[in-house]
Amino acid sequence: MKIIYVTTSLPCGRGEAFIIPEIRTMAELGHEILVVPCYPRGEIVHVDSDFLLKVSLVKPLVSFEILRGAFSASKHHPRQATRALKALFRSRSLRILLKNLIVYLKGLWLVSIILDWEADHLHVHWLGVSSTMAMIAAEVSGIPWSITAHRWDIAENNLISQKSEKACFIRAISGQTAEILRTYVPAVAARPTVIHMGVTLPTHRSMPPRASPFGVFVPALFTEVKGHIYLVDAIKQLKDEGIFVQVDLLGSGPLQQTIFERIKKLGLEDRIQIQGLLPHHELLRSMQEGCWHVCVLPSIVTPDGVQEGIPVSLMEAMSFQIPVISTTTGGIPELLHDGAGIMVAPKDAAALANAIKLLMTDDSLRAQLAQAGRERIQACFSVGQSANDLIERFAICSDLP
């Protein structure tokens, strides 16, 4: 099959690295892939940059080439282009309408790419403006298309009803994501299909030296839903009990300064380090080299209802047999149920502290969780399985064998 993947910025920037294994696996299965970012931002920094560049078409949101392509599409398909534009005015707010209008021209430009490349299927990650761009291109070109929905993009509710009616299917990355989606999707639309995000299973992992400080890492952006503040408070509790834990916060984001100030206020600079956002390949290498004992993701449900899907960061840690501690929010229980990890209530710093202390003092439990986590990923969250499931759905949409 010839498949076009619409992303937000991938291959540019450090985000969306979790999509790369899926794209690479499809290419290894013999399918032709073309990655088209909606609005590319940042340098191409992924270790897979050579592969990504070969399969990507990176163009800015607006340029002379985009304008020329949009004019050509509207000239050759005037009724479809007008219908696609009118659909945008059903946006539920002026803010979302303006965001959608910004990608209209690039959606029209994508039409010629679809037709010239003779693509069989168009797939897009996120239900936000990237899927608006894909919807425009599909509406005008007539190509079958589908969407992967994550979590925050559902809460934004950017034309979800209309997109679900037009797309062949919406892929939900967890069972809970599918349940939430069903509240937005009309009965006449295709029901959400659960296909997990998958990760590549590594062959081995070095264990942390026993004499080293107990190492915890948090691979997460500094946003409210990730709950960093509660882990900081948990480490303060451990310090008050005379327990030393070394924590690496791997990420960036709007709350980074707030978290830093909290660390400083509690006198935890010697225990909690903000390391910044590591390139994905460096993060994987550090996990493989045994730099940490435990992965923690203290996620919460935000006041406006944002919560996790199934975090790929946890899946990757589990694939390296690193025990994980997280919370009973979003799709996390779908990943960690039946002893594949430790879950505590959200916003409970004391429970986080006790879970970390438990894994510090119980080597057999750490080993048990490490093995159970790896087995869960192998059974339910491997990228090979998810890529094959998607290809089967693409083929059905495109009426291909």
- Residue 189 and residue 227 share a domain: no
- Residue 252 and residue 337 share a domain: yes
Give CA separation, 257 vs 225, 252, 383, in Å: 16, 9, 35
Is 302 inside a domain boundary? yes
Q: Assess whether pLDDT exceeds 90 at residue 222.
A: yes
Residue 213's CB: how many other CB atoms inside 10 A? Answer: 13
- Residue 267 and residue 128 share a domain: no
Is 354 inside a domain boundary? yes
pLDDT classification of 304: cutoffs 50, 70, 90: confident
- Residue 251 and residue 302 share a domain: yes
Q: Report the first-to-last Cα separation within the chain, whole angstroms.
A: 10
Q: Assess whether pLDDT exceeds 60 at residue 2.
A: yes
- Residue 271 and residue 146 share a domain: no
Q: Assess whether pLDDT exceeds 70 at residue 130.
A: yes
Identify the pLDDT of residue 189. 66
- As a whole number, mean pLDDT of residues 84-106 equals 97
pLDDT classification of 401: cutoffs 50, 70, 90: low
| Average per-residue pLDDT for the chain | 93
Angle at 104 between CA 9 and CA 140, to 5 degrees: 110
Identify the pLDDT of residue 48. 65
133-157 residue pLDDT tens:
999 999 999 999 999 998 889 889 9
> Which residues are CB-contacts of 167 (< 8 A; sequence separation ≥ 6)?
135, 138, 145, 146, 147, 190
Identify the pLDDT of residue 188. 63
- Residue 155 and residue 234 share a domain: no
Residue-wise DSSP of 80-132? HHHHHHHHHTT-SSHHHHHHHHHTHHHHHHHHHHHHHHT-SEEEEE-SSHHHH
Is 88 inside a domain boundary? yes
- Amino acid making up residue 151: R
- Residue 164 and residue 17 share a domain: yes
Is 36 inside a domain boundary? yes
Is 203 inside a domain boundary? no
- As a whole number, mean pLDDT of residues 287-301 equals 95
E strands of 150-297, at which residues?
169-172, 193-194, 215-219, 246-250, 272-274, 294-296
DSSP 8-state symbol, 2? E
Which among 380, 375, 279, 379 has a CA at the least distance from the CA of 318? 375
Identify the pLDDT of residue 210. 58
What's the number of domains the chain is made of?
Answer: 2
Identify the pLDDT of residue 389. 95
Domain, as residue range, for 279 = 215-380
- Residue 165 and residue 19 share a domain: yes
> Which residues are CB-contacts of 337 (< 8 A; sequence separation ≥ 6)?
none
- Residue 167 and residue 78 share a domain: yes
234-252 residue pLDDT tens:
999 999 999 999 999 999 9
pTM: 0.86
Greater model confidence, 53 or 211? 53
Domain of 267, CATH number, reads 3.40.50.2000
Give CA separation, 39 vs 88, 221, 276, 360, in Å: 18, 20, 23, 44
Question: Cα(30)–Cα(1) distance, rounded to whole angstroms?
Answer: 8
Is 144 inside a domain boundary? yes
Question: Cα(316)–Cα(295) distance, rounded to whole angstroms?
Answer: 10
- Residue 173 and residue 239 share a domain: no
Identify the pLDDT of residue 49. 66
- Residue 346 and residue 232 share a domain: yes
- Amino acid making up residue 144: P
Omega within 30 of 0 (cis) for the link into 208:
no
Is 221 inside a domain boundary? yes
- Residue 81 and residue 116 share a domain: yes
Is 205 inside a domain boundary? no
